[in-house]
A and B are shown apart, each in its own frame.
Chain A
Amino acid sequence: MIAAMMASSYNAKEEDGHHSGSSSHGGAGAVKSKKPDNTAFKQQRLPAWQPILTAGTVLPAFFVIGLIFIPIGIGLYVTSNNIKEFEVDYTGVDINSPCYSCAKNFSWNSTQSCVCSVNFTLEQPFESNVFMYYGLSNFYQNHRRYVKSRDDSQLNGDLSALMNPSKECEPYRTNDGLPIAPCGAIANSLFNDTLDLYYVDSNSTKTPIPLAKKGIAWWTDKHVKFRNPSGNTNLTVTFQGTTKPVNWRKPVYELDPSEADNNGFINEDFIVWMRTAALPTFRKLYRIIQKKSGTTPTLPSGRYILDITYNYPVLSFDGRKRMILSTISWMGGKNPFLGIAYITVGSICFFLGVVLLIIHHKYDTRNNSADIPN
């Protein structure tokens, strides 16, 4: 794109490629001459475009970039701003936080689940489909050894891998002599808080908001990458001879008691967790709140209660847990950065273009000289 802007053209004088061979054949005669072929390629005379980077030739590129980038940036920024997002931290670090006690007393070993509720208010209604995320901070899901600690074959339903997981899963490969299904550190650290959302209307009645737990994973993950071990429809039988990961309360085939086909390796919460996040602060899709009808907003403004079954300890590594509600646009979630970046880069280009223009007018004269009639 930049290249195309440069004010240059193909060199007219370098077009003698078609002479090739005429003299070499003529001179050869009976004795084979070693004379090199007169081809444009061999003589390094291929027709070529030779841009010269000077202020004069380059400045249109800068202006064009500026002029294209700024509107794009504005568009992106506006799009991002139209996205509604709400975030609530329920880690319970603060002593006033409702989950403080849960957070304090909880560890992986506790069997008793701790429940806490967070109240919050949405100032503005969320019109379209709302995506409910849980967010973790300071959680290094991208740690080199953590990322590797999984067995894709096992997750793909390979029976031999089920019983004999890959070495990569060490030290979460076997427990008490039984193979762990699903093995590995990623699975072992599965996020297991349960979040429930209630709308509190004006007369303080709690209306549970329906949260769709399907469709949150990639289609290819759910249908291609992750598969339950085949052969038996009964997952309990299938997974016989394996044991649950150490940190888990329930075995993998009981992850979702409400829906039978959301169990085993194809449990979508599990699949989402298994897609390791890129950065230590991340969010993962938890539920989707579908828009019901055209007129009412998906989440009207007002008071809400978030009920949390607090199972997942993060305080030991100074982590944070959040619940995020967000609508989504064609370019994903709310992130003003790209818009700002486009606007900034566009402006810088424009500014540099002006600088180049000044330089060009003060010093660069070559461009004009090329136009002098002979």
Chain B
Amino acid sequence: MARDGEDAGMVKAAKVKRQRKKKTKENKTRTVHANILYDNAKGEENPNRHYANNKIKTTKYTLLSFLPKNLFEQFHRFANVYFVFIALLNFVPVVNAFQPELALAPVVFILSVTAIKDLWEDYRRHRSDKEINHMDCLVYSRVERRYVEKYWKEVRVGDFIRLRCNEILPADVLLLTSSDPDRLCHIETATLDGETNLKQRQVVRSFFDLDCDFDPTKYNSIIECEKPNNDLNRFRGYIIHRSGRRDALYKENLLLRGCTIRNTEEAVGIVIYAGHETKAMLNNNGPRYKRSKLERQMNVDVFWCVIILLVMCLFAAVGHGLWMFQYGDKRPVFDVLSPEGTDLSPIMSAIYLFLTMIIVFQVLIPISLFVSIEIVKICQVFFIHQDMDLYDEETDSHLQCRALNITEDLGQMQYIFSDKTGTLTENKMVFRRCTVAGVEYSHDANARRLAMYQEMDSEEEECTSHGGTLPRRDSVTSHQSARVVLRSQSTKSHRRTGSRAEAKRASILSKHTAFSSPMEKDITPDPQLLDKVNECSSQMDFMRFHSQPMSQLPSDLSDIIDFFIALTICNTVVVSSPNQPRQKVKLSEGYAPPLKSPVKTIEDFIKRFTPSRLTSGSNSSSSSSLITNRSSNRGCSSILSSPSAEKLRYEAESPDEAALVYAARAYKCSLVGRLPDQVTVELPHLGKLSFELLHTLGFDSTRKRMSVVVRHPLTDQITVYTKGADSVIMDLIKPPNTGENSHSVCFIVYRTQNYLNLYAADGLRTLCIAKKVLTKEEYACWLQRHLEAETAIQGREELLFESALRLETNLHLLGATGIEDRLQDGVPETIASLRKAGLQIWVLTGDKQETAVNIAYACKLLEPEEEILTLNADSQVNDTGHCFINENDYSADHIYPSSSPSSSSVPFMVHRLGLVIDGRTLAYALDKSLEDKFLAVARSCRSVLCCRSTPLQKSMVVKLVRNKLKVMTLAIGDGANDVSMIQVADVGVGISGQEGMQAVMASDFALPRFRYLQKLLLVHGHWCYSRLANMILYFFYKNAVTLIFWYQFYCGFSGSAMIDQWYLIFFNLMFSAFPQLITGTLDKDVSAETLQQLPQLYISGQNSEEYKPYMFWMNMIDAFYQSLVCFFIPYFAYADSDVDLFTWGTPITTLALFTILLHLGIETKTWTWMNWLSISFSIALFFTVALCYNASCPTCYSPSNPYWTMQRLLQDPLFYFLCVITPVTALLPRYFYRACQGTLFPSPVQVGRQLDKLPAETRRNILSLSRTKYVNHIEQAKHHYHNLFVFQPYINVPDTITVMGHRQPLECNLVLLVFYVKVFWILGLV
């Protein structure tokens, strides 16, 4: 840390303190001085000079370092090193097989393709860096004594910068002053976390009292804060003033780079972190690299290829040694001495030859495989991106693939771990009903209204599917669109390349979010409750008027009004008017505290309202209605200027908060303003009431509640309003003392608990509202310790937590609310079909058990006929262990009923078990000693539901299943609490919903809606997997066609090749490369419709049926056979003739190409014009290259010198006869096998393809049949013929036919029925 250049004029006390700290906290803090104290920002004197400046450079390379650095990176890949090694081996004269320069070609080609790709990416990064670095901002200049425009890159730590509305923050800035009368600054953090609601930031406390004109020259404090870190939600430090006073700094004082200033005209701050040390940049990680299961499998086989290669080389080396040995001393004329003229012994020759053979057989290790896989994956990602079915019209977003290299894993999933809220449900919270003081208000009208929306939704959906030109649901008023434009402009100019799309998406999203949808806003009040509210408030008004104490109010009425006040103020909802920037008007109300300072001049006031340059037009009308008697007192109430309360927008961090505020507003109890220390509420009859907000104890997942401490304006009491999960609140309710109304309190609690259970059973989210009145003494006592906690630097969080716990006790229950979180569209269907696809679906949620179970029923995760195992632990550990084991035994009995003959009568009911486990029990279940048993139970259940689980538990469950069961896991979630689970799973899917973007940022794939998972997995996953699996297998096959090996038997194992080295080297790289890429990208084994209608087909991917280890060996054997054919047919055809080496080798090359292409043809399931084109192109390319090459130079290309060879061959009829018979012979076994397989034992996928071919109507019949009636029949049949059916499907045919035929007279064609049976057999396998 830069301590040496400290200014002598700095306050001594601060210095002493710091030096004391130096010993303990060396290197843990950063000290920031203001730059204006020093002449030159970079000068020797400046203590800030060691901090990073604001210039960002995300490029990996410079012009000079590109080549070495890129090569170095590429050589981290083992394959590249291997190929370079081989290429270099060619430069050794004793062992070289090819022309050394030529042998470099493939490696150079592969390396340069990758290098060009990297270079392009780096260039794009460079351009965006440059764009960002050259953005403007206002920095205070010491020389000019004013703010001057500077580039972002010139900003330094310690600079004062002035920020204007809608400007993007260039660095992490400590907020020193704001034009906002309340010393607030609103920022939008969408670019950081995707949350579109505005966040408030406060001016540092000690600058609070400063007048509006902040003069940087007078600033002489020192800031000490943490070292740069990437925690967006943490900032700790303190500011030391000249006077020696220290003020704590919070994250509320820090404006983060990348955020946008909103609703605030102007703000000034000092740069704390700049450039790469800003939190935004530290959070900016590149894309993650995962290796897919298929690739892991492939690497094993690559390893096998290496072994085969070594064996072949060894064989050839031994053969060569023996061949040499047989001549003894008599060296034949054709055995040429080595260039050095030395006579090598057979053993030495063999050793050299071993190396030569490694070069010659290098094609066995597929050099282009890795590049091809990358290319194919990029294409697959492109197609997934482009899928219209994965596009969400409502949010104008489509699927994003954030991880590019695990597309094929999507086709192999076995377990899905899903979050509930926001994933299965919409996370659009709608207030449904509530209970206050033990009385339930059912809100029937509201329920009817919601039902209506549902209908409208479905109609719209139809509209979408028909027309496709559905007008957006938004009621875009001019301000909204203006805002969108502003946001997208700002994002465009700043975002990093990778997440630019997200930012834009988020900005568009903001237009459509729940907060503006009328469904959440327009709550129909329950008439009975509305009456009571009215009555209550009029009474209160009366009482206030007559100065009667409020405590005279009947308790139920006061509960009602308190209930709504709690709903209104116990939250962190930000009120904003549609117009921006936020213009505030101060009202002097009668009950406001007395004014502290005189009213300023009108001019001053007007100056403040001078609209910022961005919004000049829009505010002219509103400013006319301003009330001009402004007081500068912060304590007075404020409301937004022109719009009535109806037009206020509530922006909440979680949607249920907004739902409650909207609900309260429906009862005329509306939130009209929120400041850091004050909340203004408008009540009927009472008008605007202003609550002094003393503390906000924010929500956290451990406490599961939040509280606000306010001074009630009517009673002047210190009141705590608490809102939280019912389980925690109910425990905190004050036990009724022996007072007169203890009975009724008990009764109310009992009734409320009943209703809570009822709500939960309806699948509603429940929240309890409670309050507590503090005496002055109690409050003072608590306050003291709370302040201590607040100012502590070490362990502040824990202290605050304890402080909150101390406060939230002995609460008085006001009531409870039921909020509906509606299921997303298509969730039950999606779950049903995913389950049919053999996927195990576990739901891990933080919600309470009843709610979770109900949602599970609603989305068909649990079926009514299922038996549900519920594991709920009580507190004792030992008990739980026992209980758990017992449960285990119990279920084990049920799982294997067939073992006891008596229970065989109900086999199918028992198979359907559902497991529900809560968080506390889960903690025990995840214990090392019990996890195996837990898994055993969980595996036997059809569905598992973990409620009340913490984020950590979620990830532990996923990890457990993944590691213990060795299965492929997919985690899907939408919130920050799902991030750990998403990261742990093989594939993480984020729902880009309403809870911010953390889940999306952590995910590999981001979906707009849960139901898209169906197509993503069943269709794209299946395709990606089967395409890639087939391509990899084909690659292995293609490279294993080693014709040269057979030739070694006829050339004395000398490593000679009859195939020209040019063909040999470019064969895989050029001639046979394109068709497989096309097939690997475009081939569809089954159509998308069939894949979705028959989810069972997904099972083939789960079982890795497209690429099993034996298939590698089958392909190797096939390649072996084909290479034999391709070698020996020309061999015998030219045996003992005057054919020369390359005139014989060229036909072999040609027909190997034909064979390989036709082989691909057999494996290709879908022939589009691109397949035809690519194959024709390959052949044309080969002949063109060959003809040009053979005509080009009569003296070059030593030693082959194939001058005019191809030309002569084309005149030779024998060549054509060879080209016809050899591929046919080579492919005969495979073709025959495929045909037999297609008929005798078709895989489910093949039956799916056959279904594809049927006329649409027949198909529909079969599928509908299979979906409805079939299941029952088959299960009956299964019941009777269980074993027979599975193992000998054809024996069952007659039985099934009679069943079928009986029910379905319209399909009487026996032939067709037999086919049905085949289809059903496949369905029945599930």
Q: Among the listed stretches B58-66, B275-283, B383-391, B640-648, which one makes contact with chain A, having 4 or more residues with CB under 8 Å of it?
A: B383-391
Q: Which residue of B lies closest to A55 (CB)?
A: B1239
Among B338, B1082, B1208, contact of A218 (Cβ-Cβ < 8 Å): B1208
9 closest Cβ contacts across the A-B interface? A317-B332, A278-B1144, A54-B1238, A23-B468, A58-B1235, A189-B333, A144-B1056, A148-B1199, A55-B1239
Q: Using Cβ atoms and an 8 Å threshold, which residues of chain A touch B484? A: 31
A20–B566 Cα distance when bound, in Å, is: 55
In the assembled complex, the CB of A168 is this many whole angstroms from the nearest CB of chain B, namely 6
Given pairs A46-B1170, A372-B1312, 10 additional interface contacts (CB within 8 A) = A34-B396, A54-B1239, A54-B1242, A58-B1232, A69-B1224, A139-B334, A146-B335, A279-B1134, A369-B1312, A374-B1257
Known contacts A65-B1224, A144-B1054, A189-B333; is-contact A341 B1132 (Cβ 8 Å): yes
Give the residues in chain A near B1058, CB-CB below 8 Å: 142, 278
> Can you list 11 residue pairs at the A/B interface with Cβ under 8 Å?
A34-B396, A52-B1249, A53-B1234, A55-B1240, A140-B1054, A170-B337, A279-B1134, A281-B1135, A337-B1133, A338-B1218, A352-B1232
On A, residues with C-beta under 8 Å from B are: 2-3, 8, 11, 13, 23, 26-27, 31, 33-38, 42-44, 46-59, 61-62, 65, 69, 72, 76, 108, 133, 135, 139-153, 155-156, 158, 166-168, 170-172, 185, 188-189, 218, 220-221, 224-225, 247, 275-285, 316-317, 319, 330-333, 335, 337-338, 341-342, 345, 348-349, 352, 356, 359-360, 363-366, 368-370, 372, 374
Q: Which of B1100-1142 contact A (CB under 8 A)?
A: 1129, 1131-1141
User: Given A143-B336, A341-B1221, is A224 in contact with B1203 using a C-beta cutoff of 8 Å?
Assistant: yes
Bound complex: CA A304 to CA B1250 (Å): 70
User: In this assembly, does B956 line the interface, its C-beta being within 8 Å of a C-beta of chain A?
Assistant: no
Across chains A and B, the number of contacting residue pairs, with CB separation under 8 Å, is: 318
Is there contact, CB below 8 Å, between B386 and A337? no
Instruction: Count residues of B near A (Cβ-Cβ below 8 Å).
Output: 109
Q: Is A35 a contact of B396 with CB atoms below 8 Å? A: yes
Q: How far is the CB of A159 from chain B (nearest CB, A)?
A: 13
A48 to B1055, CA, bound (A): 45
Of B97, B1133, B1194, the residue contacting A335 (CB under 8 A) is B1133
Question: Which residues 1193-1235 of B have a CB within 8 angstroms of A?
Answer: 1194-1196, 1198-1199, 1201, 1203-1204, 1208, 1212-1214, 1217-1218, 1221, 1224-1225, 1228, 1231-1232, 1234-1235
Residues in B whose Cβ lies below 8 Å from that of A37: 386
Query: Are B1166 and A48 in contact, with the CB atoms below 8 A?
Result: yes
Interface segment, one of B165-173, B687-695, B1157-1165: B1157-1165
How long is the Cα–Cα vector from A15 to B1073 in the complex, in angstroms?
A: 29
Chain A residue nearest to B1207 in the complex (CB) = A220
Output the least CB separation between A324 and chain B (Å). 9
* Complex interface: chain A residues within 8 A of B1052 (CB): 140, 143, 280
The smallest beta-carbon distance between A143 and chain B, in angstroms, is 5
Q: Are B1228 and A335 in contact (CB under 8 A)?
A: no
Contact with A along B319-343 (1 / 0, CB 8 A): 0000000010010111111111100
The minimal Cβ–Cβ distance linking A91 to chain B, given in whole angstroms, is 15
Give the contacting residue for A141; candidates B334, B1143, B1203; CB below 8 A. B334
Q: Report if B30 contacts A (CB, 8 A).
A: no
In contact, A144 and B1084 (Cβ under 8 angstroms)? no
Cross-chain contact B1050 with A279 (CB below 8 angstroms): yes
Residues of B within 8 A of A8 (CB): 1253
Distance (Å) between the CB of B1043 and the closest chain A CB? Answer: 13
| Contact (Cβ within 8 A) A144 B1212 | no
Q: A282, B1204: Cβ atoms under 8 Å? A: no
A277/B1138 contact (C-beta < 8 A), A48-B1166, A53-B1231, A150-B1198 known: yes
CA distance A220 to B1208 in the complex (A): 10
Given contacts A142-B1051, A280-B1050, contact A168 B1166 (CB under 8 A): no
**B397 located at the interface, meaning its Cβ lies under 8 Å from any Cβ of chain A in the complex:** yes
Interface positions, chain B 236-288, Cβ under 8 Å from A, are none
Q: Report the minimal beta-carbon distance from A353 to chain B, rounded to whole angstroms.
A: 10
Interface centre among A133, A143, A277 (most CB of B within 10 A): A143
Q: State whether the Cβ of B817 lies closer than 8 Å to any Cβ in chain A.
A: no
For the complex formed, measure the closest distance between the CB of B507 and the CB atoms of chain A, giving whole angstroms.
11
Enumerate B465-517 residues with CB–CB distance to A below 8 Å. Answer: 468-470, 484, 505, 508
Inter-chain contact A348/B1228, CB cutoff 8 Å? yes
- Flag if B1138 contacts A49 (CB, 8 Å): no
Name the contact of A53 in the complex, choosing from B1134, B1168, B1170, B1235 (C-beta under 8 A). B1235
The complex places the Cα of A188 from the Cα of B1169 at a distance, in Å, of 55
Residues of A within 8 A of B356 (CB): 144
Find chain A residues with CB under 8 A from B327 CB: 316-317
A55 engages B1195 (CB within 8 Å): no
Residue of B nearest to A368 (CB): B1311
Residues B1256 and A13 in contact, CB atoms below 8 Å apart: yes
Asked whether, in the complex, the Cβ of B1201 is within 8 Å of the Cβ of A225, the reply is yes
The answer to whether B1238 and A55 touch across the interface, beta carbons within 8 angstroms, is yes
B1167 contacts the other chain (Cβ, under 8 Å)? Answer: yes
Q: Decide if A363 touches B1240 in the complex (CB within 8 Å).
A: yes
Q: State in angstroms the CA–CA spacing of A225 and B1212 once bound together.
A: 21
Give Cα A192 to B969, complex, Å: 75
Q: In the complex, what residues of A have CB within 8 A of residue B1158's CB?
A: 2
Give Cα distance in the complex from A49 to B1224, angstroms.
22
Complex Cα–Cα for A150 and B1088 (A) = 60
Which residue on chain A has the smallest CB distance to residue B1129? A341
Q: Within the assembled complex, what's the spacing in Å between the Cα atoms of A145 and B1237? A: 48
In the assembled complex, the Cα of A153 lies from the Cα of B1311 at a distance in Å of 73
A2 CA to B1058 CA, complexed, in Å = 29
Known: A35-B396, A332-B1212. A188 touches B388 (CB 8 A): no
Whether the pair B1199, A168 counts as a contact (CB closer than 8 A) is: yes
CB distance from B399 to the nearest CB of A (A): 10
Interface residues of B in 953-1010 (CB under 8 A from A): none
B1239 and A359 form a contact (CB under 8 A): yes
Q: CB-CB contacts of B1026-1056 with A at 8 A, as 1s and 0s?
A: 0000000000000000000000001110111
B829 to chain A, nearest CB (A): 22
Specify which of B338, B1133, B1203, B1235 is in contact with A356 (CB 8 Å cutoff). B1235
A168 to B99 CA separation, bound complex (whole angstroms): 11
Q: Is the CB of B1145 within 8 A of A50?
A: no
What chain A residues lie within 8 Å of B1141 (beta carbons)? 141-142, 147, 276-278
Contact of A34 among B333, B397, B1250, B1311 (CB under 8 A): B397
Set of chain A residues within 8 Å of B1253, measured between Cβ atoms: 8, 11, 50, 52, 370
* A369-B388 in contact given A185-B334, A359-B1236 (Cβ < 8 Å): no
Contact of A185 among B333, B1023, B1166 (CB under 8 A): B333
Shortest distance between the CB of A74 and any CB in chain B (Å): 13
B1255 in contact (CB, < 8 A): yes
- A282 / chain B contacts, CB cutoff of 8 Å: 1136-1139
In the bound complex, what is the Cα–Cα distance between A9 and B209 (angstroms)? 83
Give chain B residues whose Cβ lies under 8 Å from the Cβ of A171.
336-337, 339, 341
CA distance A297 to B317 in the complex (A): 52
- Residue among B97, B333, B385 having the largest count of chain A Cβ atoms under 10 Å: B333
Write out the residue numbers on chain B whose beta carbons fall within 8 Å of the beta carbon of A170.
337, 339-341
* Most central of A44, A57, A359 by chain B CB within 10 Å: A44
Q: Is the beta-carbon distance between A36 and B387 smaller than 8 angstroms?
A: yes
Q: Is the CB of A52 within 8 A of B1246?
A: yes
The reply to whether B1195 and A158 contact each other, CB–CB distance below 8 Å, is yes
Bound Cα distance A76, B508 (Å): 74
B1131 x A36 contact (CB < 8 A): no
Known contacts A55-B1235, A69-B1221, A365-B1314; decide if A36 and B388 are in contact (CB<8 Å): yes
With both chains docked as a complex, state the minimum distance between the C-beta of B1053 and any C-beta of chain A, in angstroms: 10
Within the complex, which residue of A44, A149, A316 is in contact with B330, where a contact is CB–CB below 8 Å?
A316
Q: Is the CB of B1134 within 8 A of A48?
A: no
Write the nearest CB–CB distance from B1226 to chain A, whole angstroms.
10
Nearest CB on A from B1197, distance (A): 8
- A220 contacts which of B335, B1204, B1225 (Cβ < 8 Å)? B1204
Which A residues lie within 8 Å of B1234 (CB)? 53, 58
